[in-house]
Structure 1
Amino acid sequence: MSDQENTHALDGPINLTFYRYLLPSIVGLLAMTSASLVDGIFIGNFIGVPALAAVNLIIPILSLLFGVGLMLSIGGSVRAGKFLGEKNPAAASAIFSKTLIAVLIYATVVIALGLIFERQLFRLLGADADLMRLMSEYYRVVMPFFFAQLGTIVLYFFIRLDGYPSLTAAALVVGSVINIALDYLFIAHFQWGISGAAWATGLSQMFPLLVLLGYFFTKQRKLRFSIKQSNWYEVIQAAYNGISEFINEISGGIIAFLFNLMLIHRAGVDGVAAMTVMNYLMMMGFMVFFAIGDTSQVMMSQNFGARNGKRMNAFFYVAAANVLAISAICISLLLFFNEPLILIFLSDQNSDLALGLANEFIHYVWPLFLFAGFNMLISGYLTSVHLAFQSGVVALSRSLLLPATLLVTLYFLIDDYRFIYALALGEALTFALALFYLMRHRPSKVLQQTAPKLSDGMV
């Protein structure tokens, strides 16, 4: 039996449907995240702290470029979800086709420009000559594979929307397993250094795309691809609805850029490496939050199109309960198992300063898990009901405006590393704003505003 028959967002059992979408998503995203974590483990243990810092310095570039593709993909899939809820697969197929074409054209352009202006970008990121050499070894190999990565992200969101979460999870798992195997082969066995890490990452990005292409041979699929399209302005309209995800992605790069400058000034390469370890540790929890928010977004966008407010409420409550549980798990791990987690990435042969800083940073970062998952969930909900402005405000507040303002302020007020508290404080302030928007735009009110004459008896 196909995933479509098993998991129906519009009429399936709430808990069963939610978890049948969520669990494959978590498996796939954690597989993808574990590949990044294994990259960090091999780089930190076999290449060294400078290489770990070099990879982290490249993050702002990749975040900015990836953010546009993510915005187009999520915005397009949310729009397609509404069309599917309205029983209009032709319109959903049109936005799917236009999104995929637009993202692939975008990927071609940014790869070329990114390689042409490589040196200028590295100087902007504050790298010295030694770090620029390491960054270049990694960057020149990874960038051409960006085409496959963006193609994968489009197919991931649309294929999940069409009811094939197991296929998307399998694709990410395949990519992760291959990445881990290539990391061992290229870094530990052949000792190719940071270029080996780049080749492992780049080559492994090809395989999820190949797996997802199998979707086009599925007869039961609702989404059909056609290169002949009109009304290309619809892509821009859809992209606007994915603006919160774009903001989240590029803001992460900007915040990483600020952090790197501050840490290079106060602790040098060891500080950047320590923050890289923190990023790896936070990545697992954030990916699970993303999976929960993305799953609820798939459920609610279709029920928004079908005008089923009760199911929208039910899916939101299930998602919120899962966010609460994951938050508790992440906080417990960071507080009680911090040293073993750090030593996964930094062996005893690495700098003692990097080890000590990573341990200190954990105590400044863990409170953000009290609020981050709920902020991501609410932002995703607002996107699913086409409140792009409100979703964008929440995303911009939590990922850029508040943390950047607080980082700069605390950096000049405090002489040590406690300015890192800015991350948790920014999430807490954003949570108050997100709750305000949620109460003001809960499903019953949103559906009344979009069709005042209809009443669905929602709570």
Structure 2
Amino acid sequence: MLKKFLKYSIPSSVSMFISSLYTVIDGIFVGRGVGSLGLAAIAIVIPATIFLLGLATMFAVGGGALVSKNFGSGNKENAVEVFRQAFKSIIMFSIGISFIFVIFAEPIVTLLGATENLRSMSAEFLRYYSLFCIPNLLGIVLNGFARNDGRPRLAMVSTIVGTLVNVLLDYIFIFILHMGVKGAAIATGLGQVATIVIILPHFLSIRTQLTFGNVKLKMNVIKEIMSIGFPSFFAEIAFSIIIFFYNLELGINMGESGIAAYSIINYITTNIYLMLLGVGLGAQPLISYYFGAKEMKRMLKIYKFSLITSTVVSLVFVLACFMFGSKFIGLFTGDAQLINITYNGLNITSLAYIIIGLNLSTSMYYQSIEMPKFSNLICSFRSFIFLPIVLFLFAHFYGINGIWAGMIFSEILSFIAINIFANIKTNTKKAISV
């Protein structure tokens, strides 16, 4: 059982870690090639890019859970139908969002909090990033279905290739062609194109169980996909809300230097966040499969493995931040004052990820057994309910360090609350008895 869990969770976590390097590499090159204003400009746009990531993850997880459940219950035809509905839907969403974001880029970044100095640069990044909406979203969705079709290593390889392409193009566009944040956005988009080039042949081969085909959209199927996957979307939106509240509070208390510091922290912590998410994504196909087969003990065992793995990974990350944090930050900026501000913030906020891993694994488990209401509850606790209150109070009483520590206490309160409102074993019994 452990071997099977590792077969899925390791490639998934590595894949998500490599995927996060898209963002980190952009940050390093922008910080060195454009400067701190470039970092702050991209930080403003992060909520919009996370919205797109959340939309894609919603279809990947919701569709993937249904596919694996149908495989587990022996219903291959339904699995193929779910895949085709998800594929067509994400293409249509991508086209619509790309159109809106390109045309209304400036009003959007203004709404997200861009100052006069940042507005044009933030809008430029969002506009060019949005031109690649289809590959940016489709790459995530196809990777998710490949994992649920028994090819987690292929999903990992496609992500690695995309990252290598992104690294090369980032260097060329920013340092040789001097394209600024526009170059970073284009490099990221072309990296995702490379990912699709690698993953697409799987769905055209005879090895796949999931095949393409022209289908008429069925709202009942799409609704089911979105209902199960919505907590993944909500989780990303929650992350965006967390960033928004932090940008707002830091902007008030520290100005642009505070936003730039938090931008660097996000570049670093995005790696661990996505790795922890990868643990849950790796567990999801197995939990959903055993859910379809109604094997409760195996479902709970996979969940236990995901909790242990998340805790170990997050502890290693916290130690790395304390030991090498200043060196990580130095990759993004040479400004000594900014390095000191950021290092202090990183050491405090990194502690929150020990609990974040537990919350993410629990949320993914409930999605896998088609009980998304509890996943939504976790996201609500983490973003809308506890964080704004904690941030406001801690900023008032403890200043800057209070702002950095806000996430730790918000996550702890969320973890306590969900365990009061929901019991894993009881809800698993309810799910398999339906």
TM-score by length of 2: 0.95
Is 1:127 paired with 2:114?
Answer: yes
Does the C-alpha gap of structure 1 residues 237 and 334 become closer, same or farther in structure 2, counting only changes over 3 Å?
same
AA matched with 2:369? V
1:272-294: per-residue Cα shift (whole Å, max 9, x none)?
11001111121121121111111
Distance 1:437 1:213, change over 3 A: farther
Task: Measure, in 1, the Cα distance between the counterparts of 2:427 and 2:388.
Answer: 33
Between 1:197-206 and 1:386-395, the stretch displaced more is 197-206
Deviations 1:70-127 (A, max 9, x none): 2232112111211111110100111111111111101111111112222211221222
Q: What is residue 203 of structure 2 aligned with on the other side? A: 216
Select which of 344, 361, 369 maps to 1:377: 361
CA displacement at 1:194 relative to structure 2: 1.9
Is the 8 Å Cα contact of residues 97 and 133 (structure 2) preserved in structure 1?
Answer: no
Is 1:93 the counterpart of 2:98? The answer is no
What amino acid is the match of 1:125?
Answer: L
Q: Which residue, out of 423, 429, 433, partners 1:447?
A: 429
- Alignment partners' CA distance in 1, 2:262 and 2:297: 43
Unaligned runs of 5+ in 1: 1-13, 453-459
2:146 to 159, 166, 172: 159
Contact 2:279 2:310 in 1 (8 A): yes
Task: State the Cα distance separating 1:36 from its structure 2 match.
Answer: 1.7
TM-superposed CA distance for 1:445, in Å, is 5.4
Find 1:80's aligned residue among 43, 67, 72.
67
Per the TM alignment, residue 346 of structure 1 is displaced from its structure 2 partner at its CA by 1.4
CA contact (8 A) 1:94 1:229 kept: no
In structure 2, C-alpha distance between the alignment counterparts of 1:41 and 1:449, rounded to whole Å? 45
Secondary structure in 2 aligned to 1:176? helix
Residues 16 and 188 of structure 1, relative CA distance in 2, 3 Å threshold: same
Residue 431 of structure 1: how far off its partner (Å): 1.4
Which amino acid is 2:366 matched to? L
Report how many residues are paired.
434
Could you tell me which amino acid in structure 2 is paired with residue 393 of structure 1? L
Counterpart residue identity of residue 104, structure 1: I
Paired residue for 2:22, among 23, 32, 35?
Answer: 35
Query: Per-residue displacement from partner, 1:10-44 (whole Å, max 9, x unpaired)?
Result: xxxx1221111122222222221122211111111
Q: Give the Å deviation of 1:449.
A: 5.5
Question: Structure 1 residues 173 and 81, CA, compared in 2 at 3 Å: closer, same or farther?
Answer: same
Question: What is the CA distance between 1:67 and its match in structure 2?
Answer: 2.1
Could you tell me whether the CA contact under 8 Å between 2:165 and 2:191 is conserved in 1?
yes
2:386 is the alignment partner of 1:402 = yes
Q: Secondary structure at the match of 2:255?
A: helix
- Percent sequence identity is 25
**TM-score normalised by the chain length of structure 1:** 0.90
Structure 1 or 2, whichever has the larger Rg, is: 1
Q: Distance in 2 between matches of 1:206 and 1:437?
A: 43
Structure 1 equivalent of residue 351 of structure 2: 367
Contact 1:364 1:418 in 2 (8 A): no
**Residue type of the alignment partner of 1:366:** S
The Cα offsets for residues 365-409 of structure 1, whole Å up to 9 and x where unpaired, read as 122022111111111111111111011101221244221232233
Q: Deviations over 1:253-289 (max 9, x none)?
A: 1221222222222222211110011111211211211
Using the alignment, how far apart are the partners of 1:231 and 1:42 within structure 2?
44
- Whether contact under 8 Å (1:398, 1:426) holds in the other structure is yes
Partner Cα separation in structure 2 for residue 337 and residue 73 of structure 1? 34
Match of 2:341 in 1: 357
Name the aligned partner's letter for residue 380 of structure 1: M
Letter of the structure 1 residue corresponding to residue 331 of structure 2:
I
Per-residue CA shift, 1:303-325, capped at 9, x if unaligned?
00001112112212222221121
- Pairwise CA distance, 1:448: 5.2
Contact in 1 for aligned 2:24/2:267 (Cα 8 Å): yes
Cα separation, 1, equivalents of 2:430 and 2:25 = 48
Given that 1:397 and 1:430 are in contact with CA atoms closer than 8 Å, whether structure 2 keeps it comes out as yes
Answer yes or no: is 1:23 the counterpart of 2:14. Answer: no
Q: Indicate if the aligned counterparts of 2:67 and 2:82 stay in contact, CA closer than 8 A.
A: yes
Residues 95-244 of structure 1 mapped to structure 2, 5 A cutoff: 95-229=82-216, 231-244=218-231
Shift, 1:434, TM fit: 3.4
Say which of 375, 392, 395 aligns to 1:411.
395
Matched letter for residue 128 of structure 2: V
Q: 1:47 aligns with which of 34, 41, 50?
A: 34
For residues 341 and 228 of structure 1, what CA distance do their matches in structure 2 show? 48
In 2, distance between residues paired with 1:410 and 1:404? 10
Return the letter of the residue paired with 1:379.
Answer: S
C-alpha RMSD over aligned residues:
1.8
Evaluate the alpha carbon distance shift between residue 154 and residue 416 of structure 1 in structure 2; reply closer, same or farther with a 3 A threshold: closer
User: CA offsets per residue over residues 142-191 of structure 1, 9 Å max, x none?
Assistant: 11101111111111111110101111111100110000111111112332
Q: 1:166 to 1:129 in 2, by over 3 A?
A: same
Cα deviation for residue 414 of structure 1 reads 4.1
Structure 2 counterpart of 1:194, one-letter code: V
Q: Deviations over 1:222-265 (max 9, x none)?
A: 11222223632221122111121111111211221222222222
Aligned to 1:11: none
Contact 1:35–1:177 (8 Å) recurs in 2: no
The 1:331–1:100 alpha-carbon spacing in structure 2 relative to 1, beyond 3 Å, is same
